Structure 1
Amino acid sequence: MPAKPTKAEQAAAHGTTIPDVLAPNLNVLFCGINPGLYSGALGLHFARPGNRFWPALHASGFTPRLLDPSEQDELLDLGLGITNVVARTTARADELTDDELREGGQILTKKVEKYRPRWLAVVGITAYRVAFGDRRAAVGPQDRTIGTTKVWLLPNPSGLNAHWTPKTLAEEFGRLRARAVIGDSPEQLNPQ
């Protein structure tokens, strides 16, 4: 893992973007709300210590070991990727406007249509509801598809989301993994 970014480096990351971890025909494309300043300063997804994305991926069986955010490109070999609803970094997700989230939903839809993952897994209920105009969306599989891509809504793995414990978060990620493996070789998602 790169050195912890300074407060100045984090402040300078405001409004920057992080490249997607993306390739055609992935099994699951995970989609965050938007990168935080810590992640933006490092140029890595879900990089802030305390974010439970990487532990949930491992505990649910998506990865054979706990990956460090600096190893994010290894996800592609596992048939996984990462993007965001909104690309720009902010200190807090509540800095995003509803218009930004809706525009991000349109951009995300085009990205999914182009890259055709089997599943789009959005981590963040409120952002998903606004981005896709679905006020009743709940955690789990959605009725919506984007082309042939199925959509699953996961809880936000931020440490600030205390309603979801590491155990229940991993269980929900595991529900998606169990569904995503159906019809695929399990080795694609968790090579031994």
Structure 2
Amino acid sequence: MPSAPVSPVPDDDVNIYLIGPRASGKTTLGARLAERLGRPFVDLDALFVERNGETIADLVAREGWDAFRRAEAAILAETATRRGLVVATGGGAVLLPENRALLAKGRVFYLQADPDRLAERLLADMNEEQRPKLTEMGFREEIKATLAEREPVYLALANACLPERGPDELLEFALRALAMWRKE
């Protein structure tokens, strides 16, 4: 039985953004957090597919990663005009300065994850249409290199870092952080 929504954060019209590497649990946490808070949930990758009628992998294969990043930025910019959302971003959404500026206007949770656990999760559910390879490196090497490159950006943007945990515990960490902000 789902829990009742918690009382809103003081600025309950501020969006909550979930950032972190692919397979870190952003979509899972985002849906659960939105339900608990009684807020709408938006998954930027799913919204891309819905709006464009193609997978991320199809666009990347045809036009490259830069084209996807531009499309992702446009979707984030549009989403950021709405208020009170819980938003799961793509792992690379933090790469563009304009995206970072938009994310910084909300509450940002960084979902931390061990590279080996990310590899396990991705191997268990490759979903290459939504999670195409980023480089020509081997799978595990790509995950480690990508995380090493992006983690400083994730940390700089984060209002709170959520350690790798199961879905229930991760939700409780997020709710506790929101409760602390409510007391500020």
Is the pair's TM-score, using the shorter chain for normalization, greater than 0.5? Answer: no
Calculate the TM-score normalised by the size of structure 1.
0.37
With a CA cutoff of 8 Å and minimum separation of 6, indicate the structure with the bigger relative contact order. 2
Structure whose residues are more often strand by fraction: 1
Structure whose residues are more often helix by fraction: 2
